[in-house]
Structure 1
Amino acid sequence: MPPKIQIRLAADRVNYTIAVNQRVPKIYTPGQIITKQNEFMRGHGTYEEEGDLKASVAGVKEEINKLISIRPLKCRYNGETGDVVIGRITEVQQKRWKVDTNSRLDSVLLLSSVNLPGGELRRRSAEDEHMMRKYLQEGDLISAEVQNVFADGSLSLHTRSLKYGKLSQGVLVKVFPTLIKRSKTRFHNLPIGASIILGNNGYIWISPTINVEEPSVGGFMQNLDEVISKPERETIARLRNCIQALAQCKMMLYDTSILYAYEESLKYDVKELLVPEAIVDLGILTQERISMLMNS
């Protein structure tokens, strides 16, 4: 039996944001007047002109006391010290790796900022420099922490903790960094049999449940020979589609919202979660559960 093909007209497109959140915040466009300058202080995403405070980017207004700023809906990642990020190695250089972290410039991971295999502590030698491509090579995905932010906005990373390092089998999901809710914990072992890493830079890593007691070889170990069972792959695929659905509905992504969306998606097949009507339904049900949790 041939597979079904769905062809949708332009008139059938769904506005995900309006369908999910009836109280849609006002979106300011560049050059639009926000308020009078003499009443408030100027924050990020604003500028002063002819006594008025105007938006310099498209986004929603954030007001803290007398400080007004505009948070852009779509932007590159602006790193801060201590952020957990997921990146892809783009180049191996002398004593450093270049890493794509969804920011304006490539980030830097120094050879001295990684754990050596076996976790031994010593100065890096010329032999370690020659072995760099065996540790990490182009195309490898890593989790790391922002150690420093340079003047030009580029980031310096480190993976000195064993919870950071090369990522093994899993799925990478890319969303806008503004949709990632800031929290203290970025590594989550969900009770549904999968683990997620919520990178501050908008990259989310979904993988089978991580065994924290399993020894790691300096953050370079991979389980590429391990066979992932079909139920685990289905769970990862469903989680991926749930995250994409919440992102299309412009909902904040954190462990609770993702878990609620997963539970509400069980009435659908994994492939059905790609249909616009299912995406809107999933967003509405997830938003209702979050609202009930906040009101209780």
Structure 2
Amino acid sequence: MGDLRLRLNQTQRVRLEAALHEIQTLAPAAAAAAAVTFADNIPVNPEDSILKGHGTSDQDGEVVATVCGVVERVQNLVCVRALRASEWIIVVHALIFLLDLLRYKPQKGDIIIGRVSERRRTDVDELNMRSILEENDLVCAEVRHIQHDGSLDLQPRSQKYGKLQRGQLLTVPAYLVKRRKQHFHHLEQYDADLILGCNGFIWVGEHVVVDEETNSNEEQHKLSMEVEAFTPLATRRHICRLANVVRMLSALGFTLTVELIIQTVEASLASNIEINNMLGAQFYVQTAEREAKRRADLSRRMNGPW
């Protein structure tokens, strides 16, 4: 919530906090108790008559923690129980484990996006490669092998998704991109390509049409030179809208899937949200509320009567 840095009025703040709290309670891994540190906000339902107990305080209408510990709730009473020394050791180990999980750990077959930094092969190979790629070029590749020293052997998945041009590169926490069978998506309705890199790099760009039968470096270079340098205005607008959706969903901490991205784009269009207003407070709130409702409906369907 604090990382969004949004200019929220009081109504928007209450709505956003309520939606995020609903999402948190619906999460499969949500625990009954949550660890907090000093000055952390404690999410509560604004409609409940909350009683603030030990370890909590009221600050600008919000319940905040005054000690480090675990939030405990008994009906409408909210308090924070300070952790004992043995519990702190467990918390530290858990945080170390969590940080390790948040790092991108490459696996064979991963689709990743990055920039060319240097050449490692022979001078002849370097000259041949420079006819296609140069330093700082943006590329998409598949992890084919992981060396003992941690370096990766990469190979373009196809000529279509090698060098990336005419689009936007976005960086999100890698844990927001789950490994799936398909990471390349042609969004035909937007004339755009979406690539969800397992390393947290997201590409949104103009759709590329390349003959998959073409396999020589010379022919590929010729094709890239013949591609029009101009991207239609409508396509550029679609790319910007898609990119803003990725930025917003990432800021909200939502797992990035092509389905959620498209749904959010369609919602922005249905609500007549201009591209330059998509990162404003109102659309953040609407998106969080819509996701909370979707998850609540899904939970009811899964846990309903057979």
Question: For this structure pair, what is the TM-score category when the shorter chain's length is used for normalisation?
Answer: 0.5 to 0.7
Whole-Å Cα distance in 2 between the matches of residues 237 and 187 of structure 1? 18
Shift in CA distance, 71/260, structure 1 to aligned 2, threshold 3 Å = farther
Q: Is the 8 A contact 1:92 1:137 kept in 2?
A: no
What is the letter of the counterpart of residue 106 of structure 2? G
CA shift at 1:130, angstroms?
Answer: 2.2
| Pick aligned residue for 2:153 from 132, 156, 179 | 156
What is the letter of the counterpart of residue 244 of structure 2? N
CA shift at 1:183, angstroms?
Answer: 0.9
Whole-Å Cα distance in 2 between the matches of residues 212 and 94 of structure 1? 27
What is the letter of the counterpart of residue 144 of structure 1? A
CA shift at 1:259, angstroms?
Answer: 0.8
Q: Is the 8 A contact 1:239 1:262 kept in 2?
A: yes
| Residue 281 of structure 1: aligned partner | 286
Whole-Å Cα distance in 2 between the matches of residues 265 and 181 of structure 1? 24
Q: What secondary structure is seen at the aligned counterpart in 1 of 2:118?
A: strand
| Residue 263 of structure 2: aligned partner | 260
CA shift at 1:195, angstroms?
Answer: 1.6
| Residue 234 of structure 1: aligned partner | 237
Whole-Å Cα distance in 2 between the matches of residues 154 and 18 of structure 1? 44
Whole-Å Cα distance in 2 between the matches of residues 294 and 190 of structure 1? 29
| Residue 206 of structure 2: aligned partner | 208
More strand by share: 1
Question: Which runs of 5 or more residues in structure 1 are unaligned?
Answer: 1-6, 34-48, 60-69, 96-125
1:196-225 deviation digits (Å, cap 9, x = unpaired): 011000011111233365765656553663
| Residue 243 of structure 1: aligned partner | 246
1:25-53 deviation digits (Å, cap 9, x = unpaired): 356689x99xxxxxxxxxxxxxxx89x85
CA shift at 1:88, angstroms?
Answer: 0.7
What is the letter of the counterpart of residue 93 of structure 2? S
Pair 1:56 & 2:93 matched: yes
Whole-Å Cα distance in 2 between the matches of residues 82 and 201 of structure 1? 12
Shift in CA distance, 202/164, structure 1 to aligned 2, threshold 3 Å = same
Q: What secondary structure is seen at the aligned counterpart in 1 of 2:250?
A: helix
Whole-Å Cα distance in 2 between the matches of residues 87 and 245 of structure 1? 22
Whole-Å Cα distance in 2 between the matches of residues 205 and 284 of structure 1? 27
Range moving further from structure 2, 184-193 or 212-221: 212-221
1:252-280 deviation digits (Å, cap 9, x = unpaired): 10111111111111121101111123222
Q: What secondary structure is seen at the aligned counterpart in 1 of 2:209?
A: coil
Range moving further from structure 2, 248-257 or 219-228: 219-228
Q: Give the alignment of 1:27-66 within 5 angstroms.
A: 54-56=91-93, 58=95
More helix by share: 2
Whole-Å Cα distance in 2 between the matches of residues 9 and 187 of structure 1? 35
CA shift at 1:244, angstroms?
Answer: 0.8
Q: What secondary structure is seen at the aligned counterpart in 1 of 2:195?
A: strand
Whole-Å Cα distance in 1 between the matches of residues 257 and 292 of structure 2? 13
| Residue 134 of structure 1: aligned partner | 131
TM-score by length of 1: 0.65
Whole-Å Cα distance in 2 between the matches of residues 215 and 232 of structure 1? 27
Q: What secondary structure is seen at the aligned counterpart in 1 of 2:263?
A: helix
Pair 1:225 & 2:235 matched: no
| Residue 92 of structure 1: aligned partner | 119
Whole-Å Cα distance in 1 between the matches of residues 134 and 172 of structure 2? 25
Shift in CA distance, 235/21, structure 1 to aligned 2, threshold 3 Å = farther
Q: Is the 8 A contact 2:159 2:212 kept in 1?
A: no
Shift in CA distance, 29/178, structure 1 to aligned 2, threshold 3 Å = farther
Shift in CA distance, 237/54, structure 1 to aligned 2, threshold 3 Å = same
Largest Rg, 1 or 2: 2
Whole-Å Cα distance in 1 between the matches of residues 196 and 284 of structure 2? 21
Whole-Å Cα distance in 1 between the matches of residues 262 and 176 of structure 2? 16
Q: Is the 8 A contact 1:175 1:202 kept in 2?
A: yes
CA shift at 1:281, angstroms?
Answer: 1.5
What is the letter of the counterpart of residue 185 of structure 1? Q
| Residue 187 of structure 1: aligned partner | 184
Q: Is the 8 A contact 2:146 2:153 kept in 1?
A: yes
Shift in CA distance, 9/260, structure 1 to aligned 2, threshold 3 Å = closer
Whole-Å Cα distance in 2 between the matches of residues 17 and 200 of structure 1? 29
Pair 1:168 & 2:168 matched: no
Q: Is the 8 A contact 2:22 2:292 kept in 1?
A: no
| Pick aligned residue for 2:107 from 80, 84, 87 | 80
CA RMSD of superposed structures (Å):
3.8
Q: Is the 8 A contact 1:171 1:206 kept in 2?
A: yes
Structure 1 vs Structure 2: percent identity of aligned residues?
30
Whole-Å Cα distance in 2 between the matches of residues 136 and 76 of structure 1? 28
